Structure 1
Amino acid sequence: MSYQDIDKEIVHLEFVFELISTNDRIPLSYWRNRLSKFPKPWLMPTQCERLARLEAALHALEQSAETENTALPLRSTGTRP
C-alpha cells in the first residue's frame, strides 16, 4: 500500500466516522478491523496522528454502545426495547 493509498483510505475513514453511529447496520467491530489493517511501522507521523484520532473517535463510539446496552433491560425474549 503506497502512502497515497494510505492517505486516501484515511480520508475515507475520516469522512465515514463523521457519519457512523452505534445503531448502524455495519458493526463497530468492522471499523475497528479496518483501522487495524494499516501498516503502522510504515506510516508517516501525520498519518499516525490521524489514525490516533480515528481510533479515539471509534473508542468513544464503542464506549457509548456499551453504555446504551447496559442502560436498557432485556425483554423476556432477550432483546432490548
Structure 2
Amino acid sequence: MSYQDIDKEIAHLELVFGKITTRDRFPLSYWHKRLVALHRSAMMPAQRERVARLEATLRSLAESRQTA
C-alpha cells in the first residue's frame, strides 16, 4: 500500500471513529482488524502516531462497553 493510500485509510478511520459507538452495526472487532491491517504496511512516523491514537480510541470504546 502506498503512503497516500495509507493516509486515505487513516483519514477514513479517523472520520468513522469520531462517529462510532459500541452499538453500531459493525462490531469493534471489525475496526480492530482494519487497524491491524495497517500495521502490515510501511508507515511514516506521523502515520504510526495517528494509528496509535485510533487504537487508543478503540480501546476506550471497548472499555466503555465492558463497564456499561
**Shorter-chain TM-score category?**
over 0.9
Q: Which of the pair has more CA radius of gyration?
A: 1
Q: Which runs of 4+ in 1 moved over 6 A?
A: none
- Matched-pair identity in %: 59
**Aligned-pair distance for 1:60?**
0.1
Higher RCO (C-alpha under 8 Å, 6+ residues apart) = 2
**TM-score, normalised via structure 1 length:** 0.80
SS in 2 for 1:43: coil
Q: Where does the alignment leave 5 or more consecutive residues of structure 2 unmatched?
A: none
**TM-score, normalised via structure 2 length:** 0.95
SS in 1 for 2:38: coil
Q: Alpha carbon RMSD of aligned pairs, Å? A: 1.1
SS in 2 for 1:37: helix
Task: Indicate the residue corresponding to 1:9 in structure 2.
Answer: 9
Q: Is the 8 A contact 1:7 1:47 kept in 2?
A: yes
Task: Indicate the residue corresponding to 1:23 in structure 2.
Answer: 23
How far apart, in 1, do the equivalents of 2:7 and 2:61 lie? 23
Q: Which has the higher helix share?
A: 2
